Amino acid sequence: MSGLFSLASKRALVTGANTGIGQAIAVALAGQGAAVTCVGRRACDETVERIEAAGGTADSLLLDFADPMAAKEVFKGAGYTLLVNNAGIIRRADSVDYSEEDWDAVVDVNMKALFFTCQAFGRELIAKGQEGAVVNIASLLSFQGGIRVPAYTASKHGVAGITKILANEWARHGITVNAIAPGYIATNNTEALREDAERSKAILERIPAGRWGDPEDIGGTAAYLCSRAARYVTGAVLNVDGGWLAR
């Protein structure tokens, strides 16, 4: 079917789009024709430049999701029909030492802000009778426990749950809600792991694909979930991990 994956005439908002996975998602959506707003707590100039250099359309917006309600007014009358929630933080400590401050900071950004951003987006589309798509970035720790990241693990389990309840409520409005659970992706956040020869070797031995993922692997999956090709896919948490969980 012609145009099955096209996002032409769509307007998308991607959070955490200044680097890494968020940047790759923004570039992928723009590559399929969407006009993309790149959101970050720091400037997304590099992402916008990459999109425009390739002939796409993009702008940027500064928002800090340490305030979970940061996006509550963003969608009103703005014409967005695609939302990708990628912004997130992680703080590490043994569970017996984990502070309330770190717990609240991680849960506020990764789960509370994600929910209320979805709420503001969905409220606008439902009021106008428009169809749309939400893609939330979950984690392998939406399925597993991890070590020394209790708030991150809890928040990413929460992302999976939020994805499912919104899918249940919004399917009748023509709004799909899905999540991507990235595996080990080569980004700035995993640089230390990749430079640790012993740890990197152990990780690669567990991945059937035998390589670290590229941010573009996540970008392509997000573009698919935003497209008409995925219009009957909702409530899914899709692991993009080179086979890690299958192992």
Just list the catalytic residues: 152
99: amino acid identity, one letter: S
Helix (H/G/I), strand (E/B), else coil: 39: strand
Tokens 């951003």, residue located: 117
What are the structure tokens assigned to 221, written together?
């999956």
Please name the helix (run of DSSP H) or strand (run of DSSP E) that holds residue 194, with its range, or none: helix 191-195
38: amino acid identity, one letter: C
Q: How far is Cα 142 from Cα 161, in angstroms, rounded to an integer?
A: 9
Where do the DSSP E strands lie in the chain?
11-15, 35-40, 57-62, 82-85, 132-137, 175-182, 237-240
Q: CA of 88: how far to CAs of 6, 91, 124, 186, in Å?
A: 28, 11, 24, 16
Among left, alpha and beta (phi > 0; psi -120 to 50; other), residue 3 is left
Q: CA of 187: how far to CAs of 63, 86, 194, 239, in Å?
A: 22, 14, 9, 17
Which among 87, 103, 191 has a CA at the least distance from the CA of 136? 87
CB 32 within 8 Å of CB 15: no
CA dihedral 6→180→77→29, nearest 10 degrees, is -30
